[in-house]
Amino acid sequence: MQVAVIKLERELDLVKDESDELRARYRHVMAEKGDLVKRIRREEELTTQLAAETDQIGDYIALYQEHRNKSNEQMKEKDMMLAELGSQNELLEVELAEMRMVLAELCARLKATTKQAPPALREGLIRIAADLHRPLEVMESIASAAAFDGAELMSLAPTARPPMIPDWCHQSVTFREL
């Protein structure tokens, strides 16, 4: 019987050792499980945060594309306006050149007429004819000259209308109306 008791004690010791080993293993597994649960929670939080940031990035991309499209439209409009202004500038330069030619011809005729004008008026007419950059001032100065009636100047104007000059430039206007 002692042998049976010793066997039972040995078996009990083995069961206790196995039980202690199982408890230690159970504690270890539970600790690992706790660590894994914490890690999963952190990863879920990270995933949620990254998903929110991804949505935000998508919103930023949409805003960027919208802004870029608006900028491209504005640039196209600006380019169109610059092209239009360029063509208008060319037309105005052509008109200006034509007006300068007409004004130069008018001044040449005025200089020719000046030779026949009385000496008191001759000096003022020469000075006026030299000023090609201010045609309205030229006409006003001529119109204000006491001995000059303006009809003579109108007869000196060229008879053919150059192209590209608006119709209002060719209306017959006396110097008194200016």
Alpha carbons 100 and 120: distance in angstroms, whole number: 28
Integer-rounded Cα radius of gyration of the chain:
52
Quote the pLDDT of residue 101.
Answer: 86
Alpha carbons 83 and 98: distance in angstroms, whole number: 23
For 92, the token pair is 């105005």
Confidence of residue 1 (pLDDT cuts 50, 70, 90): confident
Confidence of residue 85 (pLDDT cuts 50, 70, 90): very high
Q: Are 98 and 163 spatial neighbours (Cβ–Cβ below 8 Å)?
A: yes
Query: What is the pLDDT of the chain when averaged over all its residues?
Result: 76
Alpha carbons 71 and 80: distance in angstroms, whole number: 14
Higher pLDDT, 105 or 161: 105
Alpha carbons 32 and 35: distance in angstroms, whole number: 5
Quote the pLDDT of residue 6.
Answer: 87
**Residue 156: is its pLDDT beyond 50?**
no
**Residue 135: is its pLDDT beyond 70?**
no
What SS3 state is found at 47? helix
**Residue 43: is its pLDDT beyond 90?**
yes
For 131, the token pair is 């000023």
Q: Are 145 and 175 spatial neighbours (Cβ–Cβ below 8 Å)?
A: no
